[in-house]
Amino acid sequence: MSIDRPTAQTILITGGAGFIGSHLASALVDDNEVRILDNLSSGKRANVPEAATLIEGDLRDAATLERATADVDLIFHEAALVSVQGSVEAPLTSHSINATATLEVLEAARREDARVVLASSAAIYGHPEEVPIAEADPKTPASPYGIDKLAIDHYARRYNELYGLETVALRYFNAYGPGQTAGDYSGVISIFCDQAIDDEPITVHGDGDQTRDFVFIDDIVQANLKAATTEQVGTAYNVGTGTSVTVQELAETIVDVTESNSEITHTEGRDGDIRHSQADISVIRSELGYEPTVSLREGLKQTVEWYRQH
């Protein structure tokens, strides 16, 4: 049995000032030397734990990446352009950050003989034929973002086969939690929480019967820590809860948790919206011992608390 978290390692977290990367940094910083590479385009300096070292710069700059990866044992690659819509508007930009720069990270890891745990996405599955979605199911990404994530998911696994690099790709479903900032391209939970706290109408797109598997940040972190120490490398795992809720139910739960006076309204359906999404987590459960620990209601309570304070 492997231990469940890295200790006494030199660790690089790309995107470590962002939502997922900064939570990961907080979980690791007491027992490891943690370095963060972030260009602060969407991440924030304030998210970086005091004991971590921030290298402010671009992943795509060779000298910066070389400095950031010097002598590392382990890399968590979370830096990305996370906007699906943005990738539709600027596919080349998405490709250069989400795909090419990730290949550079894998090359750097080869030079350093470092393990890489990288952020893949449920977006690689596109519109699934059925749910829950298992790792081996068809991959028909519906956006440049999904295509780029699928490319790096493949690269990560082939780098293990071709060069013996230790890699694990984590296919995140809908991540949420404290620190996820509301904006045009952020997740529905951050948008609904802001609306509910301000007693503004909640904007459900379409009929609200579409479903998602919302996974709390603590469980995303748990999956990363397990991926960092497992012997099962050259692999890719779904990270979700294995359950789903409708967007309508989500809106109602947020109104309830915030004790809001917001009305739930319905707007036009969103172009290209995926109807149903739910992870099959049986493989990550059996191979990594991953188990979701935070229910949607509990996760929403913690998230709402954070939004109230910020």
The set of catalytic residues is 145
Q: Could you tell me if 12 and 38 are in contact, meaning their C-beta atoms sit under 8 angstroms apart?
A: no
Residue 98 near ligand UD2 by CB under 6 A: no
Our CB check for ligand UD2 shows the closer of 110 and 266 to be 266
Residue 204 near ligand UD2 by CB under 6 A: yes
**Which of 88-96, 119-127, 129-137, 219-227 is the region at the interface with ligand UD2 (rule: CB under 6 A)?**
119-127
* Residue 168: CB minimum distance to ligand UD2, A: 18
* Residue 293: CB minimum distance to ligand UD2, A: 20
Size of the site for ligand UD2 (CB under 6 A): 20
Residue 174 near ligand UD2 by CB under 6 A: yes
Our CB check for ligand UD2 shows the closer of 40 and 191 to be 191
* Residue 272: CB minimum distance to ligand UD2, A: 9
Our CB check for ligand UD2 shows the closer of 128 and 292 to be 128
Residue 74 near ligand UD2 by CB under 6 A: no
* Residue 81: CB minimum distance to ligand UD2, A: 10
* Residues that bind ligand UD2 in the complex, under the rule CB under 6 A: 82, 84, 121-123, 174, 186-188, 191, 203-205, 210, 212, 247, 270, 273-274, 277
